[in-house]
Amino acid sequence: MLIMSKVFVFGGSGRVATELIKDLVDAGHTVTAAARHPEKIIALAGVTPVKMDLTQPLADLTAAVKGHDAVYFVAGSRGKDLLQTDAMGAVKTMQAAEQAGIKRYLMLSSMYALQPEEWPKYEVLSQITDYNIAKFFADNYLISNTKLAYTILQPATLTEEAATGKVTFGVGDDTTNPIADVAAVLAGLLEADNTIGKVIMMRAGETPIQAAIAAV
């Protein structure tokens, strides 16, 4: 049975976040969405936009997330500020969650972020090496330096294609994911306790999303 939660989303104005917020609200959750430009956060009932920059002091982030049940990190600098946003910014949100007493933490990462030996094998990954380095350190910190009930989702290349509602988890041949499918998986992971402590690689596929999550 789905438990309604108060959810905090870092990176709340992004493409994945916009779809994720819709899915969370549709499922009955309330959302606080943080972004440097809160006016770009989708306006929906049940969504509270807040202005937040990941370079702010940790105390600010901790105060913002306090009282929530779960934290999502779906922020990204698109290569503009990899150290302070994608790497250290992510770490600070983990520290904030722990300091605020929040257990559940969901991270949007990148395919093979934890396997640097795979990056040269894929042209699309070899083009974003610095981004994957940032995600490598952020994912490793989450796994090794926190006690959070985490799930890390590592999708393939994001596309603007229409949602399919179907995926493949793990290794495979497909190298893309529609953004809406990534968001749907992230939303579905929230109450899926079987995914806690797991790193899930995601690709386009033929398995319905809820069935794929249940089988993790």
Rounded to 5°, the CA angle 98-65-182 comes to 90
Residues 126-177 pLDDT 10s:
888 999 999 999 999 999 999 999 999 999 989 999 999 999 999 876 678 9
Set out the domains of the chain in order of their start, with CATH numbers: 6-214 (3.40.50.720)
- Residue recorded with tokens 């790193």: 199
* C-alpha to C-alpha distances, 49 to 8, 16, 172, 180, 216, nearest whole angstrom: 10, 16, 37, 21, 32
- pLDDT of 180 above 80: yes
Residues 105-119 pLDDT 10s:
999 999 999 999 999
Mean local confidence (pLDDT), 203-213: 95
List, as one string, the DSSP characters of 190-211: TT-GGGTTEEEEEEE-SEEHHH
Residue 176 contacts residue 159 (beta carbons within 8 Å): yes
What is this structure's pTM? 0.95
Tokens of 49: 């936009």
The C-alpha atoms of residue 47 and residue 40 are separated, in whole angstroms, by: 12
The C-alpha atoms of residue 201 and residue 154 are separated, in whole angstroms, by: 5
